[in-house]
């Protein structure tokens, strides 16, 4: 109440209305000026020496460097026997199907050595010449290292530098629990790919449609960092990664670290 009475008494004294009002003491103004100068100097220093990192996200898939192929039936007829199981590693020219034709029974064989990822033909089904009957991933052995293929929009691919670090979120691995997979850009494709080209390399028409949905993308090859201390054999952002191996033909999303940019470059024409 004492302060209120003082304020009311000042309002009732017209001779005090023309007195200057003091907003800050000289010591406070000095501190404010020094603070502003320090902040301005820090901003200028960061603009000259600092950098801002940008990333590019793109869908991709874990696979082997040689890709896959669609095995097509060289003859028309009815399938009488399937001679291999999905997931089995087969040598070159290995028998896969038996087909009954007008000229007797014929055997459909693999073209290259690899892992049988899928068999679309079933016993009793009728196939025509050139029909897709299986998908085979080209590998020399079970120890062949995995790579990741990212399919980047053609407009953005030119900004991806070789050697850039990549963080990969693998669909089959909970990233909140085990982190992300580490990799490095090994190569950037020189030309965009059509849906048919993607299908032929991955051996899967659905993946071809999926990765070309937004137009013709450019393929970016990511080499995974190896580690002897993890179950998967690759390095993760967590110490151990998942307690199981990761397989090929697993979908992933890559976050590519682009070249750092200096803030001062934004101000220059």
pLDDT at res. 125: 94
Q: Does the pLDDT of residue 81 top 50, yes or no? A: yes
pTM score, whole prediction = 0.70
Q: What is the pLDDT of residues 45-77, one digit of tens each?
A: 545 554 555 889 999 999 998 899 999 999 999
Q: Which residue has better confidence, 217 or 49?
A: 217
Report the share of the chain in percent with pLDDT over 70. Answer: 77
**What end-to-end distance do the CA atoms of the chain give, in Å?**
62
Q: What does the alpha-carbon distance between residue 167 and residue 180 come to, in Å, rounded to a whole number?
A: 6
Contacts of residue 64, defined as CB under 8 A and 6 or more positions apart, other chains included, come to 137, 138, 139, 144, 145, 146, 147, 248
Quick one: which of 263, 266, 251 has its CA closest to 63? 251
Q: How many whole angstroms from its chain centre is CA 180?
A: 10
Q: What does the alpha-carbon distance between residue 165 and residue 258 come to, in Å, rounded to a whole number?
A: 8
Quick one: which of 67, 44, 2 has its CA closest to 221? 67
Q: What is the pLDDT of residues 122-168, one digit of tens each?
A: 999 999 999 999 999 998 777 789 999 999 998 887 789 999 999 99
User: Given CA atoms 202, 204, 205, 211 in this order, what sign does their dihedral have?
Assistant: negative
Q: What does the alpha-carbon distance between residue 112 and residue 128 come to, in Å, rounded to a whole number?
A: 22
Q: What does the alpha-carbon distance between residue 212 and residue 198 come to, in Å, rounded to a whole number?
A: 8
Q: Does the pLDDT of residue 93 top 80, yes or no? A: yes
- Please give the average per-residue pLDDT across 238-249, as a whole number: 92
Output the CA–CA distances (angstroms, integers) from residue 268 to 6, 40, 179, 263, in the order listed. 57, 19, 38, 10
**Highest mean pLDDT of the ranges 63-67, 88-92, 222-226:** 222-226
Q: Token pair for residue 250?
A: 């697993």
pLDDT at res. 227: 93
Q: Does the pLDDT of residue 268 top 50, yes or no? A: no
Q: What does the alpha-carbon distance between residue 137 and residue 158 come to, in Å, rounded to a whole number?
A: 29
């Amino acid at each position: 109440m004492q302060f209120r009475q003082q304020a009311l008494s000042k309002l009732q004294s017209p001779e005090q209305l023309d007195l200057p009002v003091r907003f800050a003491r000289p010591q406070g103004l000095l501190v404010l000026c020094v603070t502003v100068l320090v902040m301005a100097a820090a901003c200028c220093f960061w603009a000259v020496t600092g950098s801002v990192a940008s990333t590019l996200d793109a869908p991709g898939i874990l696979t082997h460097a040689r890709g896959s192929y669609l095995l097509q039936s060289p003859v028309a007829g009815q399938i009488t026997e399937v001679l291999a199981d999905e997931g089995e590693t087969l040598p070159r020219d290995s028998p896969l199907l038996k087909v009954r034709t007008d000229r007797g029974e014929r055997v459909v064989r693999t073209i290259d050595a690899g892992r049988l990822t899928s068999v679309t033909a079933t016993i009793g089904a009728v196939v025509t010449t050139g029909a897709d009957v299986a998908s085979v991933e080209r590998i020399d052995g079970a120890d062949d290292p995995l790579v990741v293929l990212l399919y980047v929009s053609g407009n953005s691919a030119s900004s991806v530098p070789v050697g850039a670090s990549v963080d990969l979120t693998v669909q089959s691995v909970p990233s909140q629990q085990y982190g992300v997979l580490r990799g490095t850009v090994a190569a950037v494709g020189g030309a965009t790919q059509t849906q048919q080209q993607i299908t032929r390399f991955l051996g899967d028409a659905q993946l071809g449609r999926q990765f070309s949905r937004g137009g013709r993308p450019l393929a970016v090859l990511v080499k995974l960092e190896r580690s002897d201390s993890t179950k998967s054999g690759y390095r993760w952002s967590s110490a151990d990664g998942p307690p199981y191996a990761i397989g090929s033909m697993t979908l992933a999303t890559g976050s590519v670290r682009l070249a750092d940019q200096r803030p001062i470059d934004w101000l220059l024409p």
